[in-house]
Chains A and B, each alone.
Chain A
């Protein structure tokens, strides 16, 4: 794909270049001829101009040609400004979000960096082990503002289901009651703890009631496919009053029974795939102006932390019903779609009606009562079953949608948890390290973020942000903490480090009794050497609160780094200079522009530009052919006039000049008209904005609306192309005109 694009663009570039050269030379020759004529005989040039001007509107063919030129120019100006605006906005988004102007990574890497992922997973990058030195070297370049270290990886998390969360809260309450230190419940008095325990218990019973009802429904429909006996027994047990009256006798035992037997029955727990960018968060948040915190706050300086991409947060972590309501709302307000006529929206409504269980399960008895009352009032019905009420509520039409949408967020949303992961939660992220061992870290979610302009991009919106320390932990690289930990272990076990060269001797020869720790790939930790159990857990809690110095963050490996430039217009030159710098100082770096670093996304942009460029070329090619034809006809119609001029003493060169000048004048007048009209259209588009009709358009537009801007370069190119195309298209007819014999004057019948 890449090679194809490369070859394609080289061939295309070559052709365009040759064409431009030929065109330029002819234009130059013509220009010189006209200048010479202008100097030697200004009155002759004036006369030709006068004739060209007078001829402009005299013939219908000229009007056709003029219309074509004007139309072509309008298309060119409008399309051109669309392309450059698209390109600019994408460039701003990409550069300002993750890529920076230039990306660097180790020259030893197998793959090229692909910030938004590539087809076939994450690229295999070799870590840069001497990042602080690299950073220092690069930041000496006068155009380099900063270098931000990065690394991209992915992990699976399981945020747990509604029963798990309810049981977890109940467990915490009991632990607090028992006297354990539970930070969140530290200041809650004993009587309130008891009340909360009751409420929480009633919530669990509510869930069991719903599960029971589900089971009975299933049994009624499919007698033989009813619950497995153990599950049925467990359900019967936890539904009984005895279970609950005896609960307080051994709450932890009862909780365990519920966790093991009941929680698995609720299948809303989804594994979530998280793609994250490990980076120096302080520097990242300061360097990328496109990044904005949507919920919560930025990760405090020097601390570990996690920021979830808003797109992912909404798409994957939000309560499905709410998400669907949001989608309907966007479709209705932004794209003026109607539930009545739109199949997708009808499907959303249908799914919302049938899938109310997520909400019902979340509500305890008190909240259920509140919700029922609210819905009864809103819908004006006496129905008492929450599920039935919700079904009725979600049965929305274009008439009721806006009101109910507002009602949902004002009244119902405060009763439920809208997101499966909340700001402030601590996520346990498990991932395979490079060495193949499973690593896990706990990171606190400080908030959600989005990149301005890429809010709806599934590519850009799929990547969350993580501090570099946690990233290195997960990736299996040494961090400041690991180094300390290793030291402790080594001291405890009496291990000593030996070099690879001496390993054999140390192992099989000599009389060393010490445990041997082989020196593995530098920087990769051996999972066996980790602390386990309670010590590990304690350490994790410390780690969350630990503040790291910038030096600690930077020392250690990084996979790639964004280079942010002071003057982005000099990107190409700086890129070259950085490559030279790397060669000179032996940094072993590969440096690529943001377009290349954007991977698939960069290719989409390039492809899009090429397509639009090609279509513009085709338009003008066709226009050129039509102009050529029309000019030919115009010449044929005027042979008598041309013959007369030749008879009374006009040289061939004058005839050539006359026809060319006429075409160029035509191009100039109608081209300028087209430019004016095109500019007007662009301004109009700019004023009203072209709305993104779907998510793809939103992505390409880098926002809900595309507001194209006129670029002076664009207009200049438009004028150049019009002149070129008209001129070249007229060369043949003009040459034919010079062949008209003066004899034609004698045969004239006009």
Chain B
């Protein structure tokens, strides 16, 4: 536990839709260690995104404890949470979420400007180095709409990593990409994880993506079913699907 970068204990998250209370997470426990390349899997509505939101400090738990980088997020102010996000967490979104009016370079530079720690030259060096790593150095002056989906997501990866965060959260990072490009993004993330030791937590329901993780946390109905190896997870999921398929074939 001492090595945990994320520690989640007995977390409950409920949404209120008018009078109805919709439980998204029902007592989740999870420890994530530094340098992990962790996949969160599960069908739609299982609570993947909610869990990521809590880890990413963009949402707070109804009950239970969420500790990120040793800080209990429930005890932090809005302002402190924002600072925590800026300094500790990098985000990769399903829809890339780049600022359309800024260039590739400016998009990646943005978090550094928010941090306001590096001088212009250092910033430039850092951004260009990352763009090299994601293979987009030649596209620095392009606008997001001039890039393909895969290229955009690579820009997003660069942006997420530019502040050298402890954790990078990716919510379905390949969902909007074709399988080949998705594969390339995951490979990129994995190599950065190995090079820098950055913790990656990403949600997915794609086996091929899951396979790259060093562990898979399987969620269903707001509960952690298991923390297992990718192979185990794939088999579980496949098994369930086959069973479902047989059930539907066998049905009268």
Contacts and interface: CB of A to CB of B under 8 A. Distances in A.
Interface of A: 40-41, 43-44, 47, 50-51, 54-55, 58, 640-641, 644-652, 654, 741-743, 745-746, 748-750
B198 interface: no
Given A43-B120, A649-B87, A743 B106 contact: no
17 contacts: A41-B113, A47-B106, A47-B109, A55-B101, A640-B97, A641-B100, A644-B93, A647-B56, A648-B159, A649-B114, A649-B115, A651-B82, A652-B82, A742-B58, A746-B171, A748-B95, A749-B95
A746 B102 contact: no
B116 A41 contact: yes
Given A47-B110, A55-B101, A58-B101, A746 B82 contact: no
Interface in B43-57: 49, 52-53, 56
B83 interface: yes
A741 B58 contact: yes
Contact of A746 (B58, B100, B163): B58
The residue among A58, A644, A741 with the most chain B CB atoms within 10 A of its own CB is: A644
Shortest 9 CB-CB distances between A and B: which pairs?
A649-B86, A54-B101, A742-B58, A644-B97, A41-B116, A748-B95, A649-B85, A47-B113, A649-B114
Contact of A745 (B83, B97, B102, B106): B97
A739 to B, nearest CB: 11
A311 B102 CA distance: 69
B99 A51 contact: yes
A743 B101 contact: no
B169 to A, nearest CB: 10
A324 B131 CA distance: 86
A743 B59 contact: yes
Interface residues of B, number: 36
Contacts of A652: 78-79, 82
A648 B110 contact: yes
Interface string B159-182: 100010000000100000000000
A443 to B, nearest CB: 81
Interface string B10-32: 00000000000000000000000
A54 B144 CA distance: 13
B58 A50 contact: no
B102 A54 contact: yes
Contacts of B100: 58, 641
A504 B94 CA distance: 114
B111 interface: yes
Contacts of A644: 91, 93, 97, 99
A43 B102 contact: no
B59 A641 contact: no
A654 B90 CA distance: 19
Contacts of B95: 748-750
B82 A646 contact: yes
B114 A650 contact: yes
Contacts of B59: 743
Contacts of A649: 82-83, 85-87, 111, 114-115, 163
B141 to A, nearest CB: 13
A645 B58 CA distance: 12
Nearest to A57: B101
B111 A648 contact: yes
Contacts of A654: 114
Contact of A650 (B82, B87, B101): B82
Given A745-B58, A750-B95, A51 B101 contact: yes
Nearest to A43: B113
Contacts of B163: 649
Given A644-B91, A745-B91, 10 more contacts: A54-B102, A55-B101, A641-B99, A645-B99, A648-B111, A649-B87, A743-B53, A745-B58, A745-B93, A746-B171
A355 to B, nearest CB: 77
Nearest to A654: B114
A651 B113 contact: no
Contacts, number: 93
Nearest to A749: B95
A44 B97 contact: no
Contacts of A55: 101
Contacts of B171: 746
Given A647-B58, A742-B58, A746-B58, A50 B82 contact: no
B183 to A, nearest CB: 23
A53 to B, nearest CB: 9
A749 B90 CA distance: 19
Nearest to A646: B82
A651 B115 CA distance: 11
Contacts of A650: 82, 86, 114
B82 to A, nearest CB: 5
B49 A746 contact: yes
A750 B116 CA distance: 28
Contact of B97 (A41, A50, A743, A750): A750
B118 to A, nearest CB: 9
The residue among A47, A50, A55 with the most chain B CB atoms within 10 A of its own CB is: A47
Contacts of B123: 43
A50 B85 contact: no
Given A651-B79, A745-B93, A50 B116 contact: no
Contact of B116 (A43, A54, A748): A43
B11 to A, nearest CB: 17
Nearest to B79: A651
Given A47-B106, A746-B53, A648 B58 contact: no
A56 to B, nearest CB: 9
Contacts of B97: 640-641, 644, 647, 745, 748, 750
Contacts of B115: 649
Nearest to B87: A649
B163 to A, nearest CB: 8
The residue among A43, A647, A741, A743 with the most chain B CB atoms within 10 A of its own CB is: A647
A374 B93 CA distance: 100
Contacts of A750: 95, 97
The residue among A640, A641, A652, A745 with the most chain B CB atoms within 10 A of its own CB is: A745
Nearest to A644: B97
Contacts of A641: 97, 99-100
The residue among A55, A647, A746 with the most chain B CB atoms within 10 A of its own CB is: A746
B110 A743 contact: no
The residue among B53, B100, B114, B159 with the most chain A CB atoms within 10 A of its own CB is: B114
A349 B26 CA distance: 99
Interface in B171-226: 171
A44 B114 contact: yes
Given A647-B56, A648-B159, A748 B85 contact: no
Contacts of A746: 49, 52-53, 58, 93-94, 171
The residue among B53, B85, B97, B110 with the most chain A CB atoms within 10 A of its own CB is: B97
B190 to A, nearest CB: 22
A648 B161 CA distance: 11
B101 A648 contact: no
Nearest to B118: A43
A647 B116 contact: no
The residue among B56, B83, B99, B120 with the most chain A CB atoms within 10 A of its own CB is: B99
Interface string B207-249: 0000000000000000000000000000000000000000000
